[in-house]
Amino acid sequence: MSDILNIGQNIPIDKIKEDYLLLLKKLDENKPFSLLNFGDGEWNFILRKRERSTQREIYNEESRLGLLQALDVSVQQDNCFLATMQEYGKFIKIAKESLKYLDDISYNKRRFHCMMYYYALEYGELFPLIELLRKRKIVMIGAIHLKKIYDMIHYKAFIQVPKRGATLHIDEIEQQILNAPKSNVYCFSAGIASNILIGRLHSKLNASLIDFGYTWDPFVKRNWRIKTLPKLDRKMMKRNIGYA
C-alpha cells in the first residue's frame, strides 16, 4: 500500500477519518468500485420530505425511483458502497430518519460518512485523494464551472451537465458517459443526478464510479453549499493541493 495512506491524521472525528482512509485505500488498490453519496437532498427525495425545488433539482417521482434503484444496487452488489448522513453535524432530524430507513431495509454494509470529503478539505487532508486521482484516467461529470479543475485533476474527458435540473436529462448524460473514452475513475459532481447515474452505470463500466459532491467547488471559487462547506483560507487551500 502506498505511503499516501498514512495521511489523514488531522481529521478529528475517528469515524470520518477511517472512512476517508478506506476510500483512499480502495482507490490505491485500483479495483473497480462505486460509491454513492446520499446527503439531505437525496434523502428528502427518497423520504418525500421535499416535494419542491431544491437548490439544484426539481423534485419528481422518476428521480426518487432512480435513487431507490441506486440504493438497491448498493444493497445487492458487494463493490457498490454508500456514503450517507450520520447522527451528528447538521440536519440531525433527516439524518436519523435516513439511518432508520437503512435499518428497516437491512442495509448491513459499511456506511461511509457523506461529509468525509469536506472534513478532508477543512483540515487540509485532500491532497492524498488528488494525488491518487492524478494517477488514474479520469472522466469528470459536472457543471461547466468544474472544467477549470483540469490543471489539478488532469481529467481525460469532461461531461458537462446542466447547473440545475440535471435529473431531467439522465438518459442523455448516461449516453455521453458511455460514449466517452474508457477510464479508470468516473468522478461525479452532478447533484442528485450523480447517484442515479452511478446506479445505472455500475454494471456497465469496468471502473470506479464516485460521487464527490461539492468537493471541488472551492477550488473554482464556487460554493453551492454555503452552510455546509468549510471556509478555507489561502494557506489551507494550498495545503489541499500539495503545498504544505
Are the C-beta atoms of 180 and 133 separated by less than 8 Å?
no
Q: Decide if 139 is inside a domain.
A: no
**Parallel, antiparallel, or unpaired: how do β-strands 185-189 and 138-142 relate?**
parallel
How far is it, in rounded angstroms, from Cα 122 to Cα 127? 12
Is residue 74 a part of any domain in this protein? Answer: yes
11: which 3 cell numbers? 481529521
Q: Is 63 a domain residue? A: yes
Q: For the chain, what is the domain count?
A: 1
Residue 12 lies in a domain: no
Phi, psi of 3 (to 5 degrees): -60, -20
Domain region containing 57: 3-7+31-133+145-240
**DSSP E strand boundaries for 148-220:** 157-160, 185-189, 208-211
The DSSP annotation for 10-63 comes to: T---HHHHHHHHHHHHHHHHT---EEEE--HHHHHHHTT---S--SS----HHH
Q: Which residues of 169-208 are buried (b: 16+ CB within 10 A; e: fewer)?
A: ebeebbebbeebeebbbbbbbbbbbbbbbbbbbbeebebb
In a domain, 24, yes or no: no
Give the pLDDT confidence score for residue 2 in this predicted structure. 46
pTM of the model: 0.91
CA 117 to chain CA mean position, Å: 8
Q: Judge whether 134 and 20 are in contact, CB under 8 Å.
A: no
Residue 115 placed within a domain: yes
φ/ψ (deg, to 5) at 208: -90, 135
Distance between CA atoms of 201 and 188, rounded to whole angstroms?
12
**Grid cell for residue 182:** 474508457
123/121 Cα distance (integer angstroms): 6
- Residue 14 domain flag: no
Instruction: Convert the pLDDT of each residue in 157-170 to its tens digit.
Output: 999 999 888 999 99
* CA gap 56, 191 in Å, rounded: 7
Calpha distance 152→126 (Å, rounded): 12
Q: Whole-angstrom Cα distance, residue 163 to residue 145?
A: 9
39-75 pLDDT tens trace: 988 998 999 865 554 556 777 889 999 999 999 999 9
List the grid coordinates of 102: 437503512
pLDDT tens string for the chain (244 positions)? 445 445 566 777 888 999 999 999 999 999 999 999 999 889 989 998 655 545 567 778 899 999 999 999 999 999 999 999 987 656 788 889 999 999 999 999 999 999 899 889 888 899 999 999 999 999 999 999 999 999 899 999 999 999 888 999 999 999 999 999 999 999 999 999 999 999 999 999 999 999 999 899 888 876 555 455 556 777 888 888 887 6
Q: Is 21 domain-assigned? A: no
Residues 72-85: pLDDT tens digits?
Answer: 999 999 999 999 99
